[in-house]
Amino acid sequence: MLMTKESPDKRSISDPPTKPLLRIDEVAAYFDVHPRTIRLWIEHGHLSAERLAGSIRVTRESIINFRLKGRED
């Protein structure tokens, strides 16, 4: 049987990350994209991020909002 990974666009909004702030690599894994894509989404204002202890963290709220309104690639 061939198993395929579920598309991030089909992932239910009911299963967003539980942590309030996520690292770039965690967000990339959640959306199944390269970390550079997450950085670009932040630069273009699609995701909100904060600098914490020298690293960039994406807010859980911005991930939920981004998922609700849909990705604009």
Condensed to tens digits (0 to 9), the pLDDT of residues 18-49 reads 889 999 999 999 999 999 999 999 999 999 99
Please give the order of strands across the beta sheet that includes 55-59. Answer: 21-23, 55-59, 49-52
Residue range 10-21, pLDDT digits in tens: 455 457 788 899
Tokens 């239910």, residue?
12
CATH placement of domain 19-69 = 3.90.105
Beta-sheet strands, E only, within 1-73:
21-23, 49-52, 55-59
pTM, 2 dp? 0.73
The 10 Å Cβ neighbour count of residue 29 is: 15
Domain definitions of the chain by residue range: 19-69
Nearest to 20 by CA among 60, 51, 58: 60
